Amino acid sequence: MRTSQFILLFLCSLIGFSGTVHAQDSLKLVPTISVDSLDLLALQMEDDLRDQQGLAPRYAVPNLVEITAATHGHWEKLDDKLAMWRLRFTCKNAISMNFGFQRWLLPIDSEMMIYNVEGTHRIRPFTIDDYNDSGELWTPAVAGGDVIIEIRCPQNAVTLIKEEIKLTSVNAGYRGFHEAFGQQPLPNNIPSLSGSCNIDVACPESVGWENEIDCVGVISTGGSTFCTGFMVNNTSQDGTPYFMTADHCGIVSGNAPSLVVYWNYENSFCRTPGSAASGGPGDGVLNQFSTGSIYRAGSATSDFTLVELNSPPNAAFGVSFCGWDASTSAPTSAVGIHHPATDEKRISFENQPPSLSTNFVTVNDWDAGTTEPGSSGSPLFDQNHRVIGQLCCGGAACGNNLSDDYGRFSRSWNLGLAAWLDSAGTGQLFVDTLPAGGGGPVEQCSNGTDDDGDGLVDCNDPDCAPSPACGGGGGPGAPANDLCSDAQAVGEGVFAFDNTGSVLDGPNACDTNMGTDVWFAYTATTSGTATIETCGSAGSLDDTVLIVYDGGSCPPSPTCLASDDDGCTTPNFSSTVSVPVVAGNTYLIQVGGWNGATGNSDLSISV
């Protein structure tokens, strides 16, 4: 963020009021703050470097200021009861402007409006309902480079407003949202309009994906950068406004209040993919938005960020909450929904199974549509309409067959997502999309009550299929020995296992890196020192955690006999322990992946 020198053309620092005037009186009364003109060539060079560094695309230049209603602007009396404050902002070659308030509080019966001087674009009024605990307010963008901020309030509220309104960032836009602002992209200004091969969500190809389309939005952070993100459901399905995007989009705890999400920014009709119209300006509008959030979790490992919006989106916007799958099940196809180059929402299709690695899901070559800068953070859905990742990186674009990498949802699950999306600790590893207007009672699966009122109780309700209480093991395809109560009975020998689809079941106090575990009930056939290990396995799970407990009762005591993380030399991160055993006694063995790693391996037991 760079600090711009700003020129104060008029400064009325008024402690009282001017005489009674009318709002429509000449703008000559309104002082003007002008920020530096934009050096488009320098910005293009900076943006090329940002792109090489994998940073989120930028659409506006922040200018740091310190402006209050006590030190700047013009106060007027509208009548015997109402007062009005106005301040004008200009940037010679900006196509949009947005604003960040470090301190913002309006009293009851007051409102703030932002509009361009031409009168073509106005943001809905901000009121006391927009206040949040951070005390900050960041606005959507307004078209053009000549904008007025106006506050109307009771005259007895003027003193409070002078103290509680502090503007600290004036952000001049130079690209993005072009058609919404009636502007064509500047020459050589990438990202420009999205490519013609993209598919509008209004096209017939998107039929059946309406609920998932409704959960995706285009975002601005810090009044400067843009990406895509999506509302995300949770196991309680209670409409908590969790929102996900990519870690590289740059949202952290310090700037989370600056998040602005635009909803339903879509073309009103299908522009034929491949046509000139599809690569040209659309007719989407930016009048539905949410502003402000609280940072909840994130990791560069799988490139995810989770925030909680300050308030749920307005019900009239029809925003849904995306379903997801945190298991390691392999998808058979994939669909991406995104905002390429901050343009209207598009949809892309991959008809083949994506490739899977520990941290990423890779779309090798889109069969229809593509992604572009600005699509980062957008969700990738599997054939069951559940999110399996968010866009990290890749080179896909119209005219090439390059791949895209999505941070894998199942990896993010154990890197912070589970604590928020399954705060009830149900162990579920998938939920479906919660449609707009959804929420309400959810079947709890183990209390003998028909919680959701569908006439089906607990495990008789299909909603409980993924619940461990109903033998689901937390997700589809869970191993038979996923739960401690289903531990596989073994003696000495070598036993293959696969923890794909499993969940953490039982204590992990002896090693908090334990995750996605399976269980064995080992009964010793001879007394001595038992060596229990995953060393030497050639399986895909090469980073294991191993804990051994005395006795065969579940749940076991949190106090273990032994534990190990990286005791082996082959593979480097496999595990080995040695414990004294007595013939005829049973010992529970908990073996899992480090921090949620999954795959197949072998458990060897010898005395």
How much of the chain, in percent, has pLDDT values that exceed 70?
87
Under 8 Å CB-to-CB from 567, ≥6 apart: which residues?
Answer: 533, 535, 574, 575, 576, 577
Q: How confident is the model at residue 536 (pLDDT cuts 50, 70, 90)?
A: confident
DSSP-assigned beta bridge partners for residue 348: 336
Instruction: Give pLDDT, residue 86.
Output: 97
pLDDT at 437: 73
Integer Cα distance of 589 and 603 in angstroms:
10
Domains, the chain, ordered by start:
7-175 (no CATH), 199-412 (2.40.10.10), 484-606 (2.60.120.380)
What confidence tier does 52 reach under pLDDT thresholds 50, 70, 90? confident
What is the radius of gyration, based on Cα positions, of the chain?
Answer: 28
- Determine the average pLDDT of the residues in 44-49: 89
CA distances from 473 to 151, 329, 540 (A): 56, 13, 21
Say whether 303 is catalytic: yes
Q: What is the C-alpha separation between 115 and 146, in angstroms, rounded?
A: 9
- pLDDT, residue 565, reads 86
User: Mean pLDDT over residues 183-188, rounded?
Assistant: 48
Residues 6+ apart with CB under 8 A from 278: 196, 197, 198, 200, 271, 272
Least confident range of 115-124, 166-175, 254-263, 538-547: 538-547
Q: What is the pLDDT of residue 145?
A: 92
Of 506, 494, 468, nearest in space to 588 by CA: 506
Specify whether 133 is catalytic: no
* 8 Å CB contact between 252 and 300: no
Tell me how far apart the alpha carbons of residues 317 and 313 are, in angstroms, rounded to a whole number.
7
Spatial separation of the C-alpha atoms in residues 72 and 75, rounded to whole Å: 9
Query: Which member of 299, 329, 376, 378 is catalytic?
Result: 376
Pull the structure tokens for residue 438.
Answer: 């959804």
Q: Hey, which residues does 349 pair with through a beta bridge?
A: 335, 368
Residue 598 amino acid letter: T
pLDDT value of residue 473:
42
How far is C-alpha 393 from the chain's CA centre? Answer: 15
- Rounded CA-CA distance 564/575 in Å is 6
Catalytic residue, candidates 72, 121, 248, 338: 248
91 and 37 Cβ atoms separated by less than 8 Å: yes
**H runs (alpha helix) in 138-269:** 158-164, 210-213
Statement: the pTM of the whole predicted model exceeds 0.85: no
Beta bridge partners of 591: 518, 546
- pLDDT at position 373: 87
pLDDT at 452: 66
Q: Is 447 exposed, middle or buried (0-12, 13-18, 19+ CB in 10 A)?
A: exposed
User: pLDDT tens, 83-105?
Assistant: 999 999 999 989 999 999 999 99
Q: Can you give 90-132 as a three-state secondary structure string?
A: ECCCCCEEEEEEEEECCCCCCEEEEEECCCCCEEEEECHHHCC
Beta strands in 544-585 (DSSP E): 544-550, 562-564, 576-581
565-575 confidence digits (pLDDT tens):
888 876 567 89
Mean model confidence pLDDT for the chain: 86
Q: Which residues of 286-312 are buried (b: 16+ CB within 10 A; e: fewer)?
A: bbbbbbbbbbbbbbebbbbbbbbbbee
Pick the catalytic residue: 130, 146, 247, 303?
303
The neighbour count for residue 163, using CB atoms within 10 Å, is 13
The answer to whether the CB of 2 falls within 8 A of the CB of 61 is yes
